Amino acid sequence: MGPTSSPLTPKMYLLIFCTCDVLSLVIQAIGGGLASSASSEVNGDTKPGTDTMVAGIVFQLASITVFVYFFFVFLKCIQSQVLPRNLKILVLAACFSVVMIYVRSIYRMVELLQGWDGYLITHQVYFVVLDGALMVAAVGVFNVWNPGWLLMSTPKPLESEEMELRNNESRKLQGSSLDS
């Protein structure tokens, strides 16, 4: 397991997906600004701003989908390897977090498509559960299963390869001492 297990380098993941996330937030902020300024005008039309916000969310969903695709490619590449328990936990936590963010983004898109007087945006319980609680869960999972702690307790690939070589040499030595 390592950089060869993924189609992108770690640096490319950071560059591509952080850029996409920031860009989607900027698009949503521009839409929010347009909608807000239109709402303060007499007979102002908030639809262009709202549509821009939805476009930002759709772009975010598309980039999350591409990230999930690469994540599954990575998991497929390492499926034949025995993962330490802590890495299995980290993979499950990441999957859980991505699902929470994905569901929340779908909720936000539907909420805004209904407009500023829509059912979802005018009933706070949906916001609390489908926005707030999902984001708390998406982030909170990493407070319980902290990636820093989980990764620190994982042997480095070189260390595990060295240990395997030592174990093989030890077995060979034990086998040759039994033969004599």
28-43 confidence digits (pLDDT tens): 999 999 999 998 888 8
Distances (CA, A) of 78 to 68, 91, 176: 15, 12, 34
The structure tokens listed for 132 are 């707030």
108-150 confidence digits (pLDDT tens): 999 999 988 999 999 999 999 999 999 999 999 999 999 888 8
